[in-house]
Amino acid sequence: MIYTYTDDTDTRMQARPKHRDYLAALPELVVAGAWSPSEPAGGLLIFRAADKSAVQKILDADPYAEAGVIANVEIREWVPPLGPAAAAITQE
């Protein structure tokens, strides 16, 4: 999932602790993080989920969504075929 945030940084920072706590408690979460400060505000989140609708449900309950600080979301299915982390990421 790729998030792009709104320009409402104050609201996002207020919601950030709840957002992080929410993500940390998700068993489906593989890794998540914000883009570097030199990039547009947003982040990348990788989940193990049955399908895109399962990821959409995760998004819908995210405190960032509830706070209205997500401007755009892209949910994409990804299967990493190569690299030293591929097996660890795709294991079930």
Every domain of the chain and the residues it spans: 2-90
The pLDDT assigned to 92 comes to 56
Q: What digits encode the pLDDT tens for the residues 42-85?
A: 999 999 999 999 999 999 999 999 999 999 999 999 877 788 87
Element (H, E) at 56: helix 52-61
First-to-last C-alpha distance (Å) of the chain? 19
Residue with tokens 């960032």: 64
Q: What is the CATH number of domain 2-90?
A: 3.30.70.1060
Burial class from Cβ neighbours inside 10 Å (0-12, 13-18, 19+) for residue 55 reads: buried
Q: 82 to each of 1, 47, 75, 88, how far by Cα in Å?
A: 20, 18, 21, 11
